[in-house]
């Protein structure tokens, strides 16, 4: 009974592990996102602010091109704005989010230095000539609002407001123009911040819903598996125990003892398989079928599984068939009534599987003995079909070791 | 005739105790001297004497104690093993299911062997005799647990030791494992004993200065 309780506890642990992703997403709230919903929200914000900046750069290009007579500083200023924008947004597109240093450089150089430099040395004397550079301040404040921490973002916006106020004052802009411009800097920032807040919230909700769905799916799969085990337990262990308890049969009769040993071995393997935290059904189920088929023919199988890898279904089926045939060979030729089966991840091949079937029978001389049809066809042939390999190692008096590797 | 090996069993399953009593009664080289449901009951020591109690006065430690891995009193297997080792017995773990992380813990705590309860009498007797003669008891479960131990505290094994361990874990006899590796059975057994020694070495606690001093003393005794 203690074992059954242990299994329930372990399942509880597994379920707790499944709910971890949900908690992790919650814990990461407010930092750069890891979930797909968060990532998508961020990518969208990068593209949206890029389009905003692109529209400002287009205006700048037209303005600079129209005033060909102006000093080269206008061209240089535009080139700097273009280059810095390319760096900031290029990096963001590549990495999925902005580099804060780029944002600071963008705000300070394009937002603050550029307008002041144009006023001081660019030969600008009237508001329309500086308008394109002022316009860039709007997109600088928009991107700063979503990519910097709150205090930093507010500092950048304040700096932009001050320098732009000074810049427009210097070229003698009317109060209406100045006010309108400052208003656009602030509203750009507010709008992008609101967009970001909304999108991140939606992204987070989406991620949480996804994680819940995945957890529910896994829970359902485990439940189905447990039901299957319960059914198997009902037909075997429970039936045997009930019969023994009724006193109707002699518990010491050889066939009753064999049946008990077989069912104990089944329970033992079941516990081993479900103990692994990452549990891949395919390979375990295929081997279990093979073991079950020979156990009913009076062969005792000591099976040990460790860290079973995930393999394609056809590979699991081939391993199951090859193991069944190897076990049948033990039953027919070893004369010990006992086979050892191990299945593990192949330490030499990534994602590969390593399965051995061993007996302690008389073995044979591999030089003189032509392997029977079973070993050649059903073991070697079956493994070769799926790109695996079977190796038989034996010597007279030393049992037989069949090793199955996939990939071969 | 060889000396009779004294054996005690600690297990809380009455049926198993009865079964073992019947089994061992038929083996002249072994004598079952005591059975108990807990280590405390076997030693007859009040719990207050832990952890340095050596059991009640007059407790005659058997050569071998068969100890169930998971006892229903909730005691930690490693504590149980250490208590029994301090009395001078050697410990052979028995359990229903090969729970690998616990097997490793048990070996690190100083258990000399590990068997699942589905083995037959000759295997059990052979394991007890191995232990009594000062060697480790071999079992595929133990070899499998060590060969696939991926805990960070695992000792470093040489490629040869690992090879023998893996082959023995797969169910080969030691003789076949030795043949595959091109060495004698005797050498192969030495390899397996060395693996067990490495685990026990790694498991010796060195938490306090007193422990450290004791360990140095043990090491110098080993060397001498």
Give the position of tokens 């299945």.
A343
Do residues B10 and B36 make contact, with C-beta atoms less than 8 angstroms apart?
A: yes
Residue A112 lies in a domain: yes
Determine the residue of chain B that is closest to A270 in CA distance.
B97
pLDDT in tens, A175-232: 888 899 999 999 999 999 999 999 989 888 888 888 899 888 888 887 877 777 777 7
Alpha-carbon distance values, A206 to A36, A146, A216, A295 (Å)? 9, 21, 15, 49
Radius of gyration of the CA atoms of chain B, in A: 18
Q: Please report which confidence band the pLDDT of residue A15 belongs to, taking 50, 70 and 90 as the band edges.
A: very low
Average pLDDT over residues B45-58: 47
Distance from CA of A396 to the nearest CA of B (A): 10
**With pLDDT > 90 as the criterion, what percentage of chain B qualifies?**
33
pLDDT of residue A228: 76
Q: Are residues A37 and A184 in the same domain?
A: yes
Q: State the pLDDT at residue A382.
A: 87
Residues of A in contact with B150 (CB under 8 A): 307
Instruction: Determine the distance in angstroms separating the CA of A316 from the nearest CA of chain B, rounded to an integer.
Output: 20
Q: Is A237 on the interface with B (CB under 8 A)?
A: no
Q: Are residues B185 and B178 in contact, defined by beta-carbon separation less than 8 angstroms?
A: yes
Confidence band (pLDDT; 50, 70, 90) for A68?
low
Residue A249's pLDDT is 78
pLDDT score, position A11: 41
**pLDDT for the residue numbered A319:** 93
| Residues of chain B numbered 19-48 and touching chain A (CB < 8 Å) | none
Expressed in percent and rounded to 5, the helix, strand and coil fractions of chain A are: 70, 10, 20
| A96 shares its domain with A187 | yes
Q: What gap in Å lies between CA B146 and CA B156, rounded to an integer?
A: 11
For residue A116, is it within any domain? yes
B90-95 and B64-68 strand pairing: parallel
The CATH number given to whatever domain includes residue A361 is: 3.30.565.10
Select from A251, A346, A260, A249 the least CA-distant residue to A295.
A260
Q: Which residue of A has its CA nearest to B117?
A: A264
> Where does the pLDDT of residue B67 fall: very low under 50, low under 70, confident under 90, or very high at 90 and above?
very high
Where does the pLDDT of residue B209 fall: very low under 50, low under 70, confident under 90, or very high at 90 and above?
low
Interface of B with A in 97-126 (CB under 8 A): 97-100, 116, 118
What confidence category does residue A70 fall into, taking pLDDT thresholds of 50, 70 and 90?
low
Q: Is A55 within a domain?
A: yes
**Residue labelled with tokens 């592990």:** A17
**Looking at beta carbons, which pairs linking B19-25 to residues 24 or more positions away fall under 8 Å?**
B20/B66, B23/B121, B23/B124
| Intra-chain end-to-end CA distance of chain B, in Å | 32
Query: Rounded to an integer, what distance in angstroms lies between the CA atom of residue A240 and that of residue A263?
Result: 9
| Residues 6 or more apart in contact with residue B203 via CB below 8 angstroms | B105, B107, B108, B109, B110
* Total domains in the fold of chain A: 2
B72 in contact with chain A, both atoms CB, cutoff 8 A = yes
Q: Does the pLDDT at position A13 exceed 60?
A: no
Among A29-38, A317-326, B205-214, the range with the most confident prediction by mean pLDDT is A317-326
Residues A206 and A290 reside in one and the same domain:
no
Q: Is residue A197 located within the same domain as residue A344?
A: no
Cis? peptide before B51, omega within 30° of 0: yes
- pLDDT score at A366: 75
Domains of chain B: 1-137 (3.40.50.2300), 138-208 (1.10.10.10)
CB contact under 8 A, B175 and A268: no
Other CB atoms closer than 10 Å to residue A181's CB: what's the count?
A: 21
Structure tokens at A331: 């039953």
Residue A277 has pLDDT above 90, yes or no: no
CB contact (8 A) between residue B171 and residue A340 = yes
- How many of the other CB atoms lie within 10 Å of CB of B36? 18
Q: Is B182 left (phi over 0), alpha (psi -120 to 50) or beta?
A: left
How high is the mean pLDDT of chain A? 81
**Helices A36-66 and A127-147, packing angle to 10 deg:** 170
Indicate if the pLDDT at residue A16 is higher than 60: no
pLDDT at A172: 82
∠ CA A175-A179-A185 to the nearest 5 degrees?
Answer: 150
* Residues listed for chain B: 224
Please report which confidence band the pLDDT of residue B207 belongs to, taking 50, 70 and 90 as the band edges.
low
Which is higher by pLDDT, A29 or B39? B39
Q: Is A105 found in the same domain as A30?
A: yes
For the residues of A139-186, what is the DSSP string, one character each? HHHHHHHHHS-HHHHHHHHHHHHHHHHHHHHHTT--HHHHHHHHHHHH
Closest listed residue to residue B169, CA positions, set B121, B100, B71: B100
Contact A356 B171 (CB under 8 A): yes
To the nearest whole Å, the CA of A217 is away from the closest chain B CA by: 28
DSSP symbol at B3? P
Query: Is residue A228 included in any domain, yes or no?
Result: no
CA distances from B111 to A72, A262, B104, B145 (A): 86, 29, 10, 14
Name the residue with higher pLDDT: A128 or A213: A213
Tell me the pLDDT band of A133, cut-offs 50, 70 and 90: confident
**Residues A171, A282: one domain?**
no
Of B72, B116, B175, the CB nearest to A2: B72
Helices (H) and strands (E) counted in chain B, each on its own, are 10, 5
Last residue of one domain, picked from the residues A189, A211, A233? A211
CB A161 within 8 A of CB A182: yes
The residues near A254 (Cβ < 8 Å, ≥ 6 apart) are: none
pLDDT of A274 strictly over 70: no
**A23 and A132 together in one domain:** yes
Question: Which structure tokens are listed for A398?
Answer: 């030393």
Q: Which two tokens stand for residue A101?
A: 């240093």
- HSE (CB half, 13 Å, CA atoms) of A133? 33
Residues of A in contact with B97 (CB under 8 A): 3, 268, 271-272
| Residue A110 domain-assigned (yes or no) | yes
Dihedral pair phi/psi, residue A394, rounded to 5°: -155, 160
Each residue's pLDDT tens digit, A284-310: 888 888 888 888 777 888 888 888 888
* Residue A264 touches chain B, beta carbons under 8 Å: yes
Give yes or no for A43 touching B (CB within 8 A). no
H-helix or E-strand spanning residue B35? strand B30-36
Assigned domain for A375 exists? yes
Residue A234 lies in a domain: no
> Which residues face A390 on adjacent strands?
A404
More confident residue, A393 or B215: A393
Q: Are residues A181 and A310 in the same domain?
A: no
Does the distance separating the beta carbons of B144 and A342 come in below 8 Å? yes
Where does a domain end: A193, A211, A229? A211
Structure tokens at A299: 């062969």
CB A211 within 8 A of CB A25: yes
Residues A302 and A203 in one domain: no
Helix, strand, coil percent content, chain B, rounded in steps of 5: 50, 10, 40
CB B95, CB B70: distance < 8 Å? yes
The pLDDT of residue A342:
93
Q: What is the pLDDT of residue B57?
A: 56
Reply yes or no on whether the pLDDT at B186 is more than 70: yes
Both A204 and A292 in one domain: the answer is: no
Same domain, A285 and A205: no
**Phi and psi at residue B182, to the nearest 5°:** 75, 35
Q: What values do phi and psi take at B171, rounded to 5?
A: 110, -5
Please give the mean pLDDT across all residues of chain B: 82
Alpha carbon distance A28, A49 (integer Å)? 24
Please give the angle made by the CA atoms of A141, A146 and A151, to the nearest 5 degrees.
Answer: 80
pLDDT for B81-137, tens place per residue? 999 999 999 999 998 877 788 888 898 898 988 988 888 888 899 999 989 988 777
Closest CA to A110 of A147, A144, A85: A85
pLDDT at A27: 38
**Structural domain harbouring A75:** 9-211
* pLDDT tens per residue across span A339-375: 999 999 887 777 899 999 999 998 888 776 665 556 7
- Among A217-221, B162-166, B202-206, the range scoring the smallest mean pLDDT is B202-206
Q: How far apart are CA A56 and CA A84, in angstroms?
A: 14
pLDDT at B201: 81
Instruction: Report the C-alpha gap between A329 and A323 in whole angstroms.
Output: 10
**For position A130, what pLDDT does the model report?**
82
**Residue from B118, B141, B176 to probe the interface with A (highest A Cβ count within 10 Å):** B176
The reported pLDDT for the residue numbered B39 is: 92
A67 shares its domain with A157? yes
- Could you tell me which residues are beta bridge partners of residue B10? B36, B67
Residue-level pLDDT at A22: 38
Q: Has residue B160 got a pLDDT over 50?
A: yes
Say if the Cβ atoms of B97 and A268 lie within 8 Å: yes
């Amino acid at each position: 009974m203690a074992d059954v309780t242990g299994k329930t506890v372990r399942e509880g642990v597994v379920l707790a592990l499944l709910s971890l992703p949900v908690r992790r997403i919650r814990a990461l709230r407010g930092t750069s996102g890891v979930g797909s919903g968060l990532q998508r929200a961020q990518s969208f914000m990068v593209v949206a602010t890029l389009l905003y900046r692109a529209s400002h750069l287009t205006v700048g290009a037209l303005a600079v091109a129209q005033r060909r007579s102006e000093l080269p500083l206008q061209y240089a200023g535009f080139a700097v704005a273009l280059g810095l924008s390319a760096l900031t947004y290029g990096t963001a597109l590549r990495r999925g989010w902005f580099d804060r240093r780029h944002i600071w450089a963008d705000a300070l150089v394009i937002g603050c230095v550029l307008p002041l430099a144009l006023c001081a040395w660019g030969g600008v004397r009237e508001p329309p000539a500086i308008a394109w550079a002022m316009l860039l301040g709007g997109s600088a404040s928009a991107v700063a609002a979503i990519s910097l921490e709150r205090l930093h973002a507010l500092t950048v916006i304040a700096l932009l407001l001050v320098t732009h106020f000074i810049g427009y004052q210097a070229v003698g802009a009317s109060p209406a123009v100045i006010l309108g411009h400052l208003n656009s800097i602030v509203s750009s920032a507010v709008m992008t911040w609101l967009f970001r807040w909304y999108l991140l919230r939606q992204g987070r909700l989406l991620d949480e819903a996804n994680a819940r769905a995945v957890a529910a799916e896994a829970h359902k799969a485990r439940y189905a598996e447990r039901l299957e085990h319960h059914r198997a337990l009902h037909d075997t262990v429970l039936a045997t125990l009930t019969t023994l308890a009724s006193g109707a049969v002699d518990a010491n009769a050889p066939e009753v003892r064999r049946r008990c040993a077989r069912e104990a071995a089944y329970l033992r393997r079941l516990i081993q398989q479900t103990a692994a935290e990452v549990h891949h059904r395919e390979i375990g189920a295929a081997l279990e079928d093979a073991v079950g088929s020979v156990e009913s023919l009076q062969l005792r199988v000591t099976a040990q599984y460790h860290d079973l890898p995930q393999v394609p279904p056809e590979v699991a089926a081939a391993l199951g068939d090859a193991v069944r045939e190897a076990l049948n060979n033990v039953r027919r030729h070893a004369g010990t009534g006992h086979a050892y089966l191990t299945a593990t991840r192949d330490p030499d091949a990534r994602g590969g599987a390593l399965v051995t079937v061993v007996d302690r029978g008389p073995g044979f001389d591999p030089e003189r003995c032509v392997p029977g049809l079973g070993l050649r066809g059903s073991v070697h042939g079956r493994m070769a079909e799926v790109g695996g390999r079977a190796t038989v190692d034996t010597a007279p008096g030393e049992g037989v070791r069949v090793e199955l590797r996939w990939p071969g | 005739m060889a000396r009779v090996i004294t054996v005690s069993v600690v297990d809380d399953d009455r049926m198993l105790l009865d079964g073992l009593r019947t089994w061992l009664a038929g083996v002249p080289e072994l004598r079952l001297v005591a059975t108990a449901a807990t280590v405390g009951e076997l030693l007859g020591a009040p719990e207050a004497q832990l952890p340095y109690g050596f059991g009640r006065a007059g407790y005659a430690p058997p050569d071998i104690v068969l100890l169930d891995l998971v006892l229903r009193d909730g005691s930690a297997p490693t504590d149980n093993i250490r208590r029994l080792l301090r009395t001078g017995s050697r410990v052979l773990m028995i359990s229903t299911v090969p729970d690998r992380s616990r097997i490793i813990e048990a070996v690190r705590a100083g258990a000399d062997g590990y068997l699942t309860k589905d083995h037959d009498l000759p295997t059990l007797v052979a394991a007890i005799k191995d232990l009594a003669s000062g060697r480790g008891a071999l079992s595929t479960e133990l070899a499998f647990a060590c060969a696939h131990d991926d805990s960070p505290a695992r000792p470093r094994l040489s490629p040869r030791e690992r090879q023998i361990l893996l082959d023995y874990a797969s169910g080969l006899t030691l003789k076949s494992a030795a043949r595959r590796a091109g060495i004698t059975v005797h050498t192969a057994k030495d390899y397996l004993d060395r693996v067990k020694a490495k685990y026990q070495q790694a498991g010796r606690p060195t938490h306090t200065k007193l422990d450290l001093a004791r360990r140095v003393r043990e090491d110098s005794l080993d060397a001498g």
